[in-house]
Structure 1
Amino acid sequence: MTDSQVQQAYAARASEYTAILGAIDGMHELDRNRIEHWAQQISGRIIDAGCGPGHWTNFLHKRGVDISGIDLVPEFIERARLRFPDVSFQVSSLRALEDADGSLHGVLAWYSLIHLPPAELPPVLSELARVLSPQGHLLVGFFDGVSAEPLNHAVTPAYCWSLDQMSSLLHDAGFEVINSEARQDPGGRPHAAISAIAR
């Protein structure tokens, strides 16, 4: 999927997506705990890369984290700014971040890499590594499964990755994996998350 295709697909369903998945109360308690714990260990600026309607960005902002949200979809950014006026949001592509080399201390990429075609994931991971300072933190959430296998996503095509393969791709992009998890929630797709630091 190109950026334009993903942008158009989400723009058409931004209101629906925000209503269904745009509230922290609807997120899994384990995810809330993991993301909060991850962010509170970081001293410095974080971006929520692929923030969607901004609920995770605001969740961390309310806990004193220095965070801003970016997303490819202008309709998401408009809603995020209206819902959370105290938080910084801007339209941006993960393929070419506006941040300077080594200028960030953390990147949250929570289910924001899932629509990248397999061949296009490595350069985006390298871009995330570029903007992080040495020992900067990355937290990635994604669908656990057979690597590069497409799945029937409600909005636009998405891909699964195994923990081993995603860990390998992160290593190749300049990260050291710190920890990982996988789980299967009733009624949901298999979930995985990896915490890593920039070498």
Structure 2
Amino acid sequence: MTDALVRRAYASRAAEYTSVLGTVEDMHELDRRRIERWSEQLSGPVIDAGCGPGHWTDFLHKRGVEITGIDLVPEFIENARIRFPDVPYQVSSLRALDLADGSLNGVLAWYSLIHLAPAELPQVLSELARVLGPQGHLLAGFFEGVSAKPLDHAIAKAYYWSIDQMSRLLDDAGFDVLDIETRQDHGKRPHAAIAAIAR
């Protein structure tokens, strides 16, 4: 989907989304543990790419991570700045980050890549690789399934990705995959997370 379509879809439901999924307490305990473990290896600037309501950004900020939340939707950013005033947030597209090459140590992309059309995902992964320094860390969360198969997302068109295909796309973009986690919770779509480092 284009940035404009995703922005409009989430802008119209930003308050509702934040009320339902806008706190770390609303998230799965295993996701909290996974992201916290990932953060322990970070030592420099980090972005929460597609931060939405900003709760994961605040979660990592409270753990001493030098992090900025970035999102396409101004309504999310405005609300995050009010809810978490000590944390920096900015409006930006993941397709063209206003960051220097190799300027980051980490990128959290937690369910923020799911709305990218299959032809668009490689470009964004390459952009994330561009802003990461060598051995910079990426953690991506997504819905596991048949690659590029659309899913019935409540807000905007989204896609499943298989572990194998996402791993290949990461490799093509300049990442080495470190570890993979999957989970199937009752009544939920299959979850996957991949940690990788930039070459």
TM-score when scaled to structure 1? 0.99
Distance apart, 1:2 and its partner CA: 0.4
| Superposition map of 1:149-164 within 5 A | 149-164=149-164
Q: Counterpart of 1:185? A: 185
Partners of 1:183 and 1:165 in 2: CA distance: 17
2:104 counterpart residue number: 104
Map 1:75-94 to 2 at 5 A.
75-94=75-94
- Residue 117 of structure 1 deviates from its aligned partner by 0.2
Identity across aligned pairs (percent)? Answer: 74
Query: How far off its partner does 1:118 sit?
Result: 0.2
Other-structure match for 1:64:
64
What is the one-letter code of the residue matched to 1:191?
H
CA separation in 1, counterparts of 2:78 and 2:187?
Answer: 31
**What one-letter code is carried by the residue in structure 2 that aligns with 1:56?**
W
Structure 2, unmatched stretches of 5+, are none
Which SS does the other structure have where 2:80 is aligned? Answer: helix
Q: Which residue of 1 aligns with 2:137?
A: 137
Q: Equivalents in 2 of 1:180, 1:99: separation in Å?
A: 28
Cα drift, residue 128 of structure 1: 0.2
The one-letter amino acid of 1:53's match is P
- Aligned partner of residue 119 in structure 1, secondary structure: coil
Q: Secondary structure at the match of 1:118?
A: coil
The corresponding residue for 2:198 is 198
* Shift >4 Å, 4+ stretches: none
Deviation (angstroms), 1:126: 0.2
Structure 2 distance, partners of 1:40, 1:51, is 19
**Whole-angstrom CA distance in 2 between matches of 1:12 and 1:122:** 28
Deviation of residue 40 (structure 1)? 1.5
Amino acid at match of 1:100: A
Per the alignment, residue 13 of structure 1 pairs with 13
For residue 95 of structure 1, give the secondary structure of its aligned residue in structure 2.
coil
Question: What residue number does 1:48 align with?
Answer: 48
CA apart distance, 1:39:
1.0
Distance 1:187 1:56 in 2: 23
Q: Which runs of 5+ in 1 are unaligned?
A: none
Match of 2:146 in 1: 146
Query: What TM-score, normalized by structure 2, do the two folds share?
Result: 0.99
Aligned-pair distance for 1:186? 1.2
Match of 2:96, SS?
Answer: coil
SS at match of 1:178: strand
Mapped partners of 1:114, 1:90: distance in 2: 20
Distance of 1:185 and 1:19 partners within structure 2: 22
Residue in 2 that maps onto 1:74 = 74
Q: Distance in 2 between matches of 1:6 and 1:26?
A: 23
1:32 paired to 2:47: no
Query: How big is the shift at 1:75?
Result: 0.2
Residue 166 of structure 1: how far off its partner (Å):
0.1
Number of residue pairs matched?
Answer: 199
